[in-house]
Amino acid sequence: MESLPLAEQPRSLEIGAGNGSVARIIAEELNGRVQAIDLDVDHLSSSPGVEAFQHDIRDGVPTGPFDLIHARFVLVHLPARREIFARLVNELAPGGWLVIADMSIAGLLLSAPEATDHDLWHRYYHAASHIVGPAAGHDYAWAEQVESEMYSAGLIDISAEHLTPLARGGGPWARYHTNLSLQAHEAFLGAGLSRADLERFRTMLADPTFRARFFTVTYTVGRKPGR
């Protein structure tokens, strides 16, 4: 985002702010003012240039206009993603940028502690991508559709990049997927995995020999005409 030709002291909206790291970068490096929102604000707090608060984007988009709107790993999870996307476009200032980062399926296990872990990995990944996720309204085809949605919305200067991050045992991406398995524990049981399966899966993700690529992240950028 540092490379985008933004207005001076851009007014920005960070959706799904997590611990606020991206919001702080925008505020510090771009000298901007950022509204950082998330459902879970346990690890999110205001800081110089950043106003952090709890908000459900399904209840509406904070009032703009914004020079930059960044939504990371949010719309893929929401059945009303297209309606929310349209509202985001509406809240862009003329010349403002929309940056959407969402995930699609990759599912590549590179190494695991035990030979039997390979079967567990494939069963877990199938359950996550074909049962648990879709039942919760997730659409893993969405990330590849954002570009065409931006064209349809009249945005310009559209581009997309893809990254397939490596999850190493005990690392941040492994912890991310461990947390997902905990949040959806009952759903995974309903999808056919046992408690022992889930415990072993979490142990596997903490092992330093574990390496996998869970998903591809697509970063799609577009600009509202004007200015």
Q: Looking at per-residue confidence, does 6 or 83 come out higher?
A: 83
Residue 8, domain member (yes or no) = no
Looking at residues 119-138, what average pLDDT do you find?
Answer: 93
The label of the residue with tokens 């999808």 reads 191
Band of the pLDDT at 4, cuts 50, 70, 90? Answer: confident
* Pairing status of strand 156-163 against strand 211-223: antiparallel
Phi, psi of 132 (to 5 degrees): -65, -50
Read off the amino acid at residue 153: A
Percent of the chain with pLDDT over 70: 97
Average pLDDT over residues 118-135: 94
Q: How many whole angstroms separate alpha carbon 1 and alpha carbon 72?
A: 13
Return left, alpha or beta for 49; rule: phi > 0 is left, psi -120 to 50 is alpha, else beta: left
Q: Which amino acid is at 109?
A: L
Full-model pTM: 0.87
Q: How far apart are CA 112 and CA 207, in angstroms?
A: 8
List the beta bridge partners of residue 99.
70, 221
Q: Residue 221 — very low, low, confident or very high, per pLDDT cuts 50/70/90?
A: very high
175-188: average pLDDT: 93
For residue 66, pLDDT over 90 is answered with yes
Q: Is residue 14 part of a domain?
A: no
Cα 214 to Cα 164: distance, rounded to the nearest angstrom? 8
Q: Does residue 34 fall inside a structural domain? A: no
- Residue among 109, 137, 102 at smallest CA distance from 124: 109
Question: 71 forms bridges with which residues in the sheet?
Answer: 15, 100
Number of structural domains the chain divides into: 1
| Domain that residue 185 falls in | 56-223
Q: What is the pLDDT of residue 9?
A: 78
CATH of the domain at 68: 3.40.50.150
Report the alpha-carbon distance of residue 52 to residue 40 in Å, rounded: 11
Is 2 inside a domain boundary?
Answer: no
pLDDT of residue 153: 96
Would 27 be classed as within a structural domain? Answer: no
Any domain includes 28: no
Please check whether residue 19 lies inside any domain of the structure: no
Instruction: Decide if 69 is inside a domain.
Output: yes
Pairing of strands 211-223, 167-168: antiparallel
pLDDT at 53 over 70: yes
